Amino acid sequence: MTAPSPRPKLTRPRPAVAQPARKAAPTGAGVRRPVAERIAPKDALLICFYKPYGVLSQFTPEGKWQGLKDYIDLPGVYVAGRLDADSEGLLLLTNDGKLQAQIADPRFKMEKTYWVQVEGTPDVAALEHLRAGPVLNDGPTRSCEVAVLPEDIEARCLWPRNPPIRFRKSIPTAWLAITLTEGRNRQVKRMCAAVGLPVLRLVRVSVGGVQLLALNDGQPLALGQSMPVSVEQLNRIT
């Protein structure tokens, strides 16, 4: 069948023929674009912030906790994927609702990686239990990636925490890298507690393709520093 003309009219029946190829729409329809470009306009803002300990994932302070307004003076942006006040690391903010959902909503399964200092020495059984997904009081968790980090990872790559963690000298500690595709309330801490590894310190180091330790021309952001992410970097969040 041929494409309909602007004005309908009667025609003699014709044998069916292949539909001619359509011209590409000006917007590039038919060409698959990166996820972030499809869910967010090119003028969407994405701000990366190295959240210190003691700062809430909201602009207003509460009690002893600071708010984001002490660090970020930019109207119209909202947190995409919260961090607890006593956790640190990569916090993303955006002015685009669809992008916010893509980052924060567990349905989209966006990977988030945390470096976690735990009390005790993880054995094979505990690591496998974490990878399989412990059952928490709100149900089973998804399987995740877990790796043991070098002992000196904190000294080499992270800013000191203020105040420092309190640990018992008689009990060793270890650092783990845990990558999740969901984001329940205090999930990493609860998962580690479920396998007998209490969390002493938690730092989120990546969300999707955004890496906390390689944002500032390949160097880590300073503690409390924020910077925008370009459209090209947005397209890495898939």
Strand pairing report for 199-207 and 88-94: parallel
The helix (H) or strand (E) run that includes residue 9 is none
For residues 111 and 179, the answer to whether their CB atoms sit within 8 Å is: yes
Helices and strands (H, E) in the chain, number of each type: 6, 11
d(CA 31, CA 6): 27
DSSP string, 173-201: EEEEEEEES---TTHHHHHHHHTT--EEE
Q: Give residue 68's identity as a one-letter amino acid code.
A: L
Q: CB neighbours (10 Å) of residue 65?
A: 16
Among the listed residues 228, 232, 233, 231, the one whose alpha carbon sits nearest the alpha carbon of residue 47: 228
Query: Catalytic residue numbers?
Result: 84
